[in-house]
Amino acid sequence: MLLEHIHQSIDEHYPEMVDIRRYLHQHPELSFKEYKTAKYIADFYEKLGIPYRKNVGGNGIVATLKGGKPGKTIAFRADFDGLPIQDEKDVPYKSKIDGVMHACGHDGHTSTLLTLAKVMKAYQDELSGTIVFLHQHAEEYAPGGAKPMIEDGALEGIDAVFGTHLWATTPLGVLQTSKDVFMAGTDRFTITIQGQGGHGAYPHETKDSIVIGSQLVSQLQQIVSRRIDPLETAVVTIGEFKAGNAFNIIADTATLSGTVRFLNTEIQELVISEMEKIIEGTCIANGVKYTFNYEKGYPPLKNHADEAELVLKASENIIEIHTREEVIPVMGGEDFAYYTMERPGAYFFTGANKEGNPYPHHHPKFDIDERALPIAAKTLINAYFAYQEK
């Protein structure tokens, strides 16, 4: 009965939930620079009278709502940074910050958690246990905000942690999760080739960094296609190739950068080893020097099976959810991975596809169906009550 009243209250707060999301959408801030957003969140909890700690691991906010009855302590997490993308949507809530937008739904995540906090404050005396609201900065840019927040004590006393991502490519009313690895590990790398430039008419007197770089682009793709078990999963992507400044000059320097994605660390180490061999061999064969910088980023996000099952079961009495799916991993990354490395927990996708808007995450015209916001809130609080009964 209590849960029914909470669901009703979430629905009643839907207009405010949308207002919060649209305000944040118009005022995005980049990773590690979310000062105004962090203040907005802190001020919200100040007005609610919910104790909070700010500057957690950087710009993070941790708010704690202690129920009137004994029980477990469960954390919900929402991220709140934007991306360096120009908003190209023709909507009244379009970003007002040139070159920055919420192109991944973090504004919606924050709105969901803030509204849920406001709703649950009214039921504080009837609540068993404690809800901890983790508002995390800098998810979009490694090393991210989760790890420093954890190091700053964000998970102290936490029994379990749950989070959701509003997923714009999944239909409204669909909930997706996994009982194992759910999202990929994400690394980045940079290769610099130091050749010997010269006149475009006399290539034999040069060591063409563009030709050598082009060889690497092709050869690095053979790591996945020929050096990794086909039943394993990996991605090696070259996203940038910078060289040259004139049509008739052979460039002496080329820089390639990209990303590696993987689902287990053994494959990660194999990719690194094979990259080193290919880069070294190619550059030796061409008589040039090189540098190879490889940065390990977020680990794979692995859900705990019991907690993922709990999310699936807990969503069954949410009438807006018509489909619950266990899905194969996606190759996008998430630093929520650090939370489930430390505590039992699960991450799930809340379908938020907006009709007529086919654009994916990180696209200049990205948007969500805001009706997904209360669905996300209901699923989180259902998981909370279900975990209290474990």
Q: Which positions are annotated as active-site residues?
A: 81, 139
3-state secondary structure of 4: helix
**Do 168 and 366 form a contact (C-beta atoms < 8 A)?**
yes
27 is in an annotated binding site: no
What residue has token string 């991502």? 165
Cα separation, 249 vs 89, in Å, equals: 41
Does the N-terminal peptide bond of residue 70 adopt cis geometry, omega within 30 degrees of 0? no
Q: In what order do the strands lie in the sheet with 174-177?
A: 52-56, 60-66, 128-136, 69-79, 160-167, 345-351, 174-177, 323-326
Give the pair of three-digit tokens for residue 49. Answer: 């009278």
- Per the document, the length of the chain is 390
> Closest Cα to residue 303, out of 178, 388, 171?
178
Which burial class, exposed, middle or buried, applies to 94 when counting CB atoms under 10 A from its CB (0-12, 13-18, 19+)? Answer: middle
- Of 187, 298, 199, whose CA–CA distance to 252 is shortest? 199
* 322 belongs to an annotated ligand binding site: no
HSE (side-chain half, CA atoms, 13 Å) at 21: 26
Determine how many CB atoms are found less than 10 A away from the CB of residue 46.
14
Which residues are CB-contacts of 107 (< 8 A; sequence separation ≥ 6)? 21, 22, 24, 25, 28, 80, 82
List 183's β-bridge partners, or say none.
Answer: 301, 330
**77, containing H or E segment:** strand 69-79
Judging by beta carbons within 10 Å of its beta carbon (0-12, 13-18, 19+), is residue 49 exposed, middle or buried?
exposed
For residues 164 and 176, give the distance between their C-alpha atoms in angstroms, rounded to a whole number.
10
Name residues whose C-beta falls within 8 Å of residue 213's C-beta, 6 or more positions apart in sequence.
191, 193, 241, 243, 254, 256
Does 283 show up as a binding residue in the annotation? no
Please enumerate, by residue number, every residue annotated as part of a binding site.
104, 106, 140, 165, 362
Q: Residue ranges for the binding site for Mn(2+)?
A: 104, 106, 140, 165, 362
